[in-house]
């Protein structure tokens, strides 16, 4: 049979020699190996004082982005919830009233938007499904808590803070960027028309 690793040794019951019976050389060898590690670079860091840089593809806590004018992009289309394999997302839609145009970008918006962070597996499918570029996974960790109900994040925790927007530019894939800017896509034409 082929061995799984090249480092495996076949155990044998052959009699040990005198030097081997002393054990001292083996102990010294072990101590030397341990001692060598004192002088090596440490692999641990002092979290939370020190923080390690995340990979650009890291998927952490979600954010519901606003558009350039500060209006919420989410229109409660429900595609994130239908894409979610863990069924962590629920939402309730409402109609935008006259005068709320600055708050919500389109005629429909999510009056309730909840993600159960205990259910969420941070796969990022919601982000991929979103047709409005509203939901993104960020490089933030979900905070710990003692109570289960506190893990159901509502809009108060998910919507991008107005004064301190979260940078998600790293999360944009090439496809997303093309989707946003390619002139042959209808929605890009609409945007340029309405801005003019």
Backbone angles phi, psi at 136, to 5 degrees: -135, 150
Report the residue number, 89 or 139, with the smaller CB distance to other proteins. 89
**Shortest reach from residue 151's CB to other proteins, in Å:** 23
**Comparing C-alpha atoms, which of 170, 173, 100, 71 is closest to residue 130?**
173
Figure out which of the listed residues 67, 78, 125, 155 binds other proteins, where binding follows CB under 8 A.
78
Question: Tokens for 139?
Answer: 């490089």
Closer residue to other proteins, CB minimum distance, 79 or 120: 79
Could you say which of 54, 71, 103, 108 contacts other proteins (CB under 8 A)? Answer: 108
Contact call for residue 185 and other proteins (CB under 8 A): yes
Q: Could you give the 3-state DSSP secondary structure of residue 148?
A: helix
d(CA 64, CA 112): 12
Q: Count of residues binding other proteins (CB under 8 A)?
A: 23
Footprint on residues 118-157 left by other proteins (CB under 8 A): 131-132
Q: Is 75 in the site for other proteins (CB under 8 A)?
A: yes
Q: Are strands 108-116 and 135-137 parallel, antiparallel or unpaired?
A: unpaired
Half-sphere exposure of 157 (CA within 13 A, CB side): 16
- Between the alpha carbon of residue 79 and those of residues 83, 131, 137, the distances in Å are 6, 8, 16
Interface residue with other proteins, options 1, 11, 184, 195 (CB under 8 A):
184
Measured from the CB atom, the residue of 106 and 172 that comes closer to other proteins is: 106
Q: Measured from the CB of residue 134, what is the shortest distance to other proteins in angstroms?
A: 9
- Give CA 159 to chain center in angstroms: 16
Residues that bind other proteins (CB under 8 A): 75-79, 81-82, 93-95, 106-108, 131-132, 182, 184-187, 189-190, 193
């Amino acid at each position: 049979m082929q061995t799984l690793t090249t480092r495996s040794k076949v155990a044998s019951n052959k009699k040990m020699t005198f030097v081997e019976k002393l054990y001292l050389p083996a102990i010294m060898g072990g101590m030397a190996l341990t001692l060598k590690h004192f002088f090596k670079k440490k692999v641990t860091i002092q979290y939370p004082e020190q923080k390690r840089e995340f990979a650009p593809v890291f998927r952490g806590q979600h954010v519901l982005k606003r558009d350039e004018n500060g209006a919420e992009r989410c229109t409660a289309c429900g595609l994130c919830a239908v894409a979610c394999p863990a069924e962590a997302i629920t939402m309730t839609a409402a109609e935008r009233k006259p005068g709320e145009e600055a708050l919500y970008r389109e005629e429909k918006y999510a009056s309730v938007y909840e993600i159960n962070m205990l259910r969420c597996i941070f796969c990022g499918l919601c982000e991929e499904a979103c047709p409005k570029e509203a939901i993104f996974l960020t490089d933030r960790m979900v905070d710990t808590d003692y109570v289960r109900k506190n893990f159901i994040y509502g809009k108060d925790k998910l919507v991008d803070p107005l004064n301190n927007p979260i940078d998600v530019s790293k999360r944009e894939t090439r496809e997303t960027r093309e989707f946003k800017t390619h002139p042959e896509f209808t929605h890009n034409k609409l945007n340029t028309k309405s801005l003019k």
